[in-house]
Amino acid sequence: MQIRIKTTPLQDVIIVIPEVYEDERGFFCEVYRADQFKSLGLPEFFVQDNHSRSVKGVVRGLHFQWDPPMGKLMRVTLGSAFLVAVDIRKGSPNLGKWFGIEASAENKLQLWAPAGFARGFCVLSDVAEIQYKCTGIYNSQAESGILWNDPAIGVDWPIKNPILSKKDESAQTLAKWLNKKESDYFLFGKE
| Alpha carbon distance 182, 180 (integer Å) | 5
Q: Are 127 and 118 in contact (CB under 8 A)?
A: no
Sign, Cα dihedral of 167, 72, 70, 90? negative
63 catalytic? Reply is yes
21, 32, 51, 132: which one is catalytic? 132
21, 32, 63, 185: which one is catalytic? 63
Do the bridges between strand 20-23 and strand 48-55 make them parallel or antiparallel, or are there none, so unpaired? unpaired
| Alpha carbon distance 109, 118 (integer Å) | 19
Among 125, 134, 119, 11, residue whose Cα is nearest residue 77: 125
Q: Any idea how long the chain is? A: 191
| Alpha carbon distance 120, 50 (integer Å) | 13
Which residues are designated catalytic?
Answer: 63, 132
